[in-house]
Amino acid sequence: MSAPTDTRPTDAVAAPVIGGQLATFWLDGDLYGVEVAHVQEVLRSQSLTRVPLAPAAVAGLINLRGQVVTAIELRERLGRPPRPEDTDAVVIVVRLHGEAVSLLVDAIADVVDVDPADFEAPPDTLDGNARDLIRGAFKLDGQLLLALDVHKAVSP
pLDDT digits (tens, 9 = 90+) for 70-123: 999 999 999 999 998 889 999 999 999 889 999 999 999 999 999 988 899 888
137 part of a folded domain: yes
Separation CA 67–CA 65 (nearest Å): 6
Q: Sheet harboring 90-96: ordered strands across?
A: 39-43, 90-96, 99-105, 67-73, 58-64
5 part of a folded domain: no
Top pLDDT among 11 and 132 is at 132
25 part of a folded domain: yes
Domain span at 102:
20-154
Cβ count within 10 A of residue 18? 17
12 part of a folded domain: no
9 part of a folded domain: no
Separation CA 44–CA 58 (nearest Å): 18
Rounded to 10 degrees, the C-alpha dihedral 30/36/40/42 comes to 30
72 part of a folded domain: yes
15 part of a folded domain: no
- CATH number of residue 30's parent domain: 2.40.50.180
pTM for this entry: 0.85
127 part of a folded domain: yes
Give the model's confidence band at 17: pLDDT under 50 very low, under 70 low, under 90 confident, else very high: low
Number of structural domains the chain divides into: 1
